[in-house]
């Protein structure tokens, strides 16, 4: 489903000053995998790896296969994959403060060729899935941190993606809200969604069926 072959990633601060993030990294998420956690120290490259998988970062060498097809390193190609195949959850919610929960969830549907009614129905259903059907008209400032993260999860679900990529989805939440998020994830897995989660949380990594750690410019499976 997702396969990275010999990925090498460098950052250049100046022409003569480079930092190697990954060197000949290999990684695979198979069709049978339901939930994978990627862990590692801060600065190890976890978010960079997620950005490569989501196609936000195409400045690397190596091969990226998505559903057995080699992905070209073009922004429009990867944007199409994000639009149709991936749901993305960020740590800091990235909600528009002047728009309601419903309108925030509607955003990913903007470029899909479906009716306004279907878009609205999908957004409401996504909010229902995360238990926020009574908050559709609430602005982000009227919601708690846990509720904002649930809006962000609903936004990732509204396109009905098979694969959800999450970057520290519980990083700013307390234990109670973390448990609520994991219950939502468990429900999504039961419905056929697949999760790839970058996390510092032992609770979240232990929730996942497989765990990988990013270290020394590479990634290794822990269990």
Can you read off the two tokens belonging to residue 45?
């490259």
pLDDT band for position 15 (50/70/90)? low
Give Cα separations from 121 to 1, 17, 26, 110, 187 (angstroms): 29, 51, 40, 14, 20
pTM of the model: 0.93
What's the confidence (pLDDT) of residue 123? 97
pLDDT band for position 56 (50/70/90)? very high
> 115-146 pLDDT, tens per residue?
999 999 999 999 999 999 999 999 999 999 99
The Cα–Cα gap between 170 and 149 comes to: 8
What's the confidence (pLDDT) of residue 16? 67
The Cα–Cα gap between 14 and 198 comes to: 29
């Amino acid at each position: 489903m997702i396969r990275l072959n010999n990925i090498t990633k460098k950052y250049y601060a100046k022409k003569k000053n480079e930092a190697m993030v990954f060197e000949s990294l290999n990684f695979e998420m198979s069709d049978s995998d339901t939930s994978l956690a990627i862990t590692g120290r801060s600065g190890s490259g976890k978010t960079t790896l997620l950005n490569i998988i989501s196609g936000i970062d195409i400045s690397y060498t190596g091969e990226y296969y998505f559903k057995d097809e080699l992905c070209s390193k073009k922004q429009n190609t990867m944007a199409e994959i994000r639009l149709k195949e991936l749901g993305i959850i960020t740590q800091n919610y990235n909600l528009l403060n002047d728009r309601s929960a419903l309108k925030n969830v509607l955003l990913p549907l903007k470029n899909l060729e479906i009716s306004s009614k279907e878009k609205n129905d999908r957004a409401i259903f996504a909010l229902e899935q995360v238990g926020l059907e009574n908050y559709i008209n609430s602005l982000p400032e009227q919601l708690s941190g846990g509720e904002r993260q649930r809006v962000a999860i609903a936004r990732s679900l509204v396109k009905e993606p098979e694969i959800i990529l999450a970057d520290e989805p519980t990083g700013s939440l307390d234990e109670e809200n973390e448990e609520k998020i994991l219950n939502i994830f468990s429900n999504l897995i039961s419905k056929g969604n697949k999760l790839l989660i970058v996390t510092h949380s032992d609770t979240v990594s232990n929730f996942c069926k497989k765990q990988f750690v990013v270290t020394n410019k590479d990634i290794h499976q822990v269990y």
